[in-house]
Structure 1
Amino acid sequence: MKQRSDNETPNAGDSRPRPSIAIGQRRVPIPRTRLVRILSGSLLALLGLFGFLPILGFWMIPVGLLILSYDIATIRRLRRRLEVWWRRRQKKTSGNNA
């Protein structure tokens, strides 16, 4: 039986890269399995609707949609449209200031 050293992780044999989403200059890891990503994204977006309650917040809605956009094409297209619009808007405003 092979002994596992302390610096090895249980999934060390898994060669698949861990999925992640980019937020600004950072990459945030998300769950590997599609089911867990969809459940966690849906749960965050749904509970975000109760953002007026303590502990929950409206910040959960965009985070949930961001996680869902990894697997659901419709949400991914909407996110990309928003990104393109935001970049064009930033270029326009930075061009006027120069």
Structure 2
Amino acid sequence: MKYDLKKIMLNAWKNYRRYSISFAEALHRAWLSAKAEEINAERIKRSKEAADVTEDTNTWVGWKKLGYEVIHGSKALFGCSLIWGSKGDGASYNASFFGRSQVQAVG
């Protein structure tokens, strides 16, 4: 797999400033995140197929970054365990995914 080195370095600088850690640790975390992206994409794909969901999906935060909000009371269509590399430990967390039909534009 080919990695986007510019994106990794930008992520490393962001981690360095945000967490007040050494740059070596920030770079380590950025590489963990980059390597986890492919694994996370595959986990999301498998979970989405298992739940028989065909519409566009994203997490609550993902929709918010795109300018949408999840409609109050909506239940997640599916969830899966993802790797979070930015903390440096490669720990997993459970993410819930909502469909395009469950969000509305903000404002």
- TM-score above 0.5, yes or no: no
Where relative contact order (Cα < 8 A, 6+ residues apart) is larger, the structure is 2
Choose 1 or 2 for highest CA Rg.
1
* TM-score normalised over the length of structure 1: 0.28
